[in-house]
Amino acid sequence: MMSRFDIFSASKQPFADGRETADCLRAARDQFGVMNLSYWFLGSSSDVPDRMSWFSTYDEGYVAVYLRDVTPLRDRAFQLCFRRLLPLDWAELRKADLSVESIHLIAERFGVGRHGVSIPIREPGVGDAMFSVNFDCEDHHWNELRSALANDVHLFAHYFHLRMKNVIAAQAATAAFDLSPREREVLQWAAEGKTAWETAQFLRVSESAVNLYASNAMTKLRAKTKTQAVAIAVRNGLLH
């Protein structure tokens, strides 16, 4: 059994790869005695995530559903979390935005506890990250449990972020959005202010085909709108 602070003992040693990152999260989850831990790295943009990386101990089924149906672009937790310096209580989040309740209900079906805290991590020149801890307890025990673990988890979140820098840098260096030539062309014309109809005329394809290429590009770039897809593509040097 690890001592309480063994999870910080290698804090000056960056993670070698994603596997070591995942192993550390699982060990810390067990050591803290919580349900789940989650780390999102969102890149340097406060409006459109440009280098999303997610490591968590959540059920793989929930991860798949979240990435398909929600993503940080639609999750109000990210918007509210980065408007503040202090951790965001999920109970507070549900009160601030009723739409969050549906996301939490889906999560609960995959064994995710109803209570949690999300910690914003902002590092100029590197990017934003969000670290979350998930609990399973009765509502009347929540404040006591949160207070007991708050300091250690908050500290661990920042140590974990420091160790992630090599992994983040490696992902950025090897990141290649798998856009087809047509998808790039459609986004290029959109970046120049052309409508789907105008783009269809330039490419000599149907307007529905242009919309399909745009939709595929949005999915690959994890963008909610075509405008966001263009912004991400430009930021990552995919367009001229």
Tell me the pLDDT tens digit for each residue of 61-74. 898 888 878 888 77
- 92 and 124 assigned to the same domain: yes
**Whole-number pLDDT of residue 156:** 92
Question: Domain range holding 186?
Answer: 176-235
Partnered with residue 132 across adjacent β-strands are 38, 118
Compare 19 and 119 and report the one with higher pLDDT. Answer: 119
Domain assignment present for residue 143? The answer is: yes
Domain containing 97 — which CATH number?
3.30.450.80
Instruction: Please say which residue of 131, 148, 172 terminates a domain.
Output: 172
**Whole-number pLDDT of residue 89:** 94
- Considering 136-150, 195-209, 212-226, the range whose residues carry the highest mean pLDDT is 195-209
Per the structure block, which two tokens stand in for 159? 């140590």
Per the structure block, which two tokens stand in for 218? 């949005």
- 50 and 131 assigned to the same domain: yes
111 Rama class: left (phi>0) / alpha (psi -120 to 50) / beta: left
Q: How far apart are CA 162 and CA 3, in angstroms?
A: 21
Tell me the pLDDT tens digit for each residue of 146-205. 888 888 899 899 999 989 988 887 766 555 567 888 998 999 999 999 999 999 999 998
Does residue 56 register a pLDDT over 70?
A: yes
- 168 and 193 assigned to the same domain: no
What domain count does the chain have?
A: 2
Domain assignment present for residue 48? The answer is: yes
Q: How far apart are CA 144 and CA 148, in angstroms?
A: 6
Lowest model confidence (mean pLDDT) among 4-18, 23-37, 110-124: 4-18
Q: Is 147 helix (H, G, I), strand (E, B) or coil?
A: helix
- Percent of the chain predicted with pLDDT > 90: 34
Residue 113 identity (one-letter amino acid): G
Domain assignment present for residue 122? The answer is: yes
- Percent of the chain predicted with pLDDT > 70: 89
Average pLDDT, the chain: 85
**Whole-number pLDDT of residue 197:** 95
Does residue 3 register a pLDDT over 60?
A: no
Domain assignment present for residue 1? The answer is: no
**Whole-number pLDDT of residue 37:** 97
Rounded to an integer, the average pLDDT of 204-210 is 90
Does residue 114 register a pLDDT over 80?
A: yes
**Nearest to residue 109, comparing CAs of 59, 177, 181, 45?**
59
Does residue 129 register a pLDDT over 90?
A: yes
**Model confidence at 6, in pLDDT bands (50, 70, 90)?**
low
- 110 and 149 assigned to the same domain: yes
Lowest model confidence (mean pLDDT) among 22-26, 115-119, 179-183, 185-189: 179-183
87: DSSP letter: P
For residues 163 and 155, the answer to whether their CB atoms sit within 8 Å is no
- 137 and 206 assigned to the same domain: no
Burial class (CB in 10 A: 0-12, 13-18, 19+), 52: middle
